[in-house]
Amino acid sequence: MKLSDLRIIVTGAAQGMGAHFVQRLVEAGAKVAAGDVNEAALAKLPDGVFKARLDVSKEEDVRRFVADAAVAMGGVNALVNNAGIIRDGLLVRKDRNTGAITTLSTEAWNAVIGVNLTGVTLMTREVVSTMVRNETRPGVIVNISSVARHGNRGQTNYVAAKSAIATNAVTWAREFAPFGIRVGAVAPGMIETPMTQGMNQKARDALVAAIPVGRIGVPEDIWLGVRFVLECDYFNGRTLDVDGGLVM
């Protein structure tokens, strides 16, 4: 699809990669609807973008946001499922000194699954229903997965969600093909955003040493992947790893 033909919803759009995608889409002439729980940061996005509070894990929010965005943009033909959170922790941890056992809390499990998996599913269900109801075609959905989907220590909840949304790009590509809707995923490696800013220097240096291209990524690297999925009508059901070669 041509970027200028897009009437596209971006979730988690207030900062980091989402805000960068919005900026690039506006520059390309797309109509954009930006949703996020952080309303103050949303307000800083470019003029002309439809901006509204959206918690992707809440069914009512999702219904209202998609309906309002479709009215504001004159329809919807694309979605970037970008909203995501982390609540890292080992599933079972034994303290070396005291021997005490601690575990990943059920709250941390539910929070990450709620946003990163249920949220992606609710958004996709609502947007695709709207497209099908309005006989909008072609359409395209992009899931922002992660290279963590291959498995990563300390991220049981995140890995479960990010691998599920990559695999469901396949499920949905098969299910939505009769509607003229493609689905793809982009799996970033380590990218410089507010999500990763808390990392200490030692861990950062070790990570850079493990990335063959020799640097942490920036949101523009991932935009190039998202843009490819949006534009290439022959890309379907696959996940594009954009990680500098970290997990090859």
Ligand X SMILES: NC(=O)c1ccc[n+]([C@@H]2O[C@H](COP(=O)([O-])OP(=O)(O)OC[C@H]3O[C@@H](n4cnc5c(N)ncnc54)[C@H](O)[C@@H]3O)[C@@H](O)[C@H]2O)c1
Return residues touching ligand X (CB under 6 A).
11-12, 14-18, 36-38, 54-57, 82-85, 115, 119, 144, 146, 188, 190-191, 193-196
Closest CB 14 distance from ligand X, rounded Å: 4
Question: Quick count: other Cβ atoms within 10 Å of Cβ 209?
Answer: 8
Q: How far is the CB of 198 from ligand X (least distance, A)?
A: 10
Catalytically active residues, by annotation: 158
If the CB atoms of residues 132 and 208 are measured against ligand X, the closer one turns out to be: 208
Q: Considering the complex, state which of residue 177 and residue 218 has its C-beta at the smaller distance from ligand X.
A: 218
Question: CB under 8 Å to 210, separation ≥6 — which residues?
Answer: 246
| 170 in Cβ contact with 222 (< 8 Å) | no
The CB-of-80 to ligand X minimum distance in angstroms stands at: 9
Phi, psi of 155 (to 5 degrees): -135, 45
Nearer to ligand X, 74 or 198 (CB): 198
Closer Cβ to ligand X, 41 or 70, answer by number: 41
Alpha-carbon dihedral angle through residues 49, 54, 56, 58, given to the nearest 10 degrees = -150
Smallest Cα–Cα separation from 4: which of 23, 31, 22, 24?
31
Cβ atoms of 119 and 11 closer than 8 Å:
yes
Beta carbon of residue 107, minimum distance to ligand X (angstroms, whole number): 15
In angstroms, the first-to-last Cα distance of the chain is 29
Helix (H) or strand (E) holding 140: strand 139-144
